[in-house]
Amino acid sequence: MEGVPGQLEAGIRYLRETTESVQRMPGWKGGYVLVDRQSGNVMTMTLWKTEADRQASAEAAAKLREQAGQRAGATGSPAVEMYEVVLHI
């Protein structure tokens, strides 16, 4: 998502506050939040045990993305792309 550099910390703070609820979701394997503080861009990556687990989390994840985006000053809805992990080094 594209946030506003000056509002980025509010979005990060929200994600930190909601981490525990995400970690309790069935199939949770981990995640990353990547930021470019100069541009305000934010990328999150979540890892799930199975595709079914990821699908089951979709509605809750969409709400979290939307809330984090609002706090970070993002305009529009965050882009979402799905990938399969085929190699972990």
- Answer yes or no: is 33 within a domain: yes
Q: How far apart are CA 81 and CA 24, in angstroms?
A: 23
Range of the domain at 65: 5-71
Strand partners, 28: 48
Residue 80 lies in a domain: no
Q: List pLDDT tens digits, range 8-46.
A: 999 899 999 999 999 999 999 999 999 999 999 899 999
Residue 78 lies in a domain: no
Share of the chain above pLDDT 90, in %: 63
Q: Domain tally for the chain?
A: 1
* Structure confidence at residue 65 (pLDDT): 87
* 84, part of any domain: no
The pLDDT assigned to 33 comes to 92
73: phi > 0 → left, psi -120 to 50 → alpha, else beta; which? left
* CATH code where residue 37 lies: 3.30.70.100
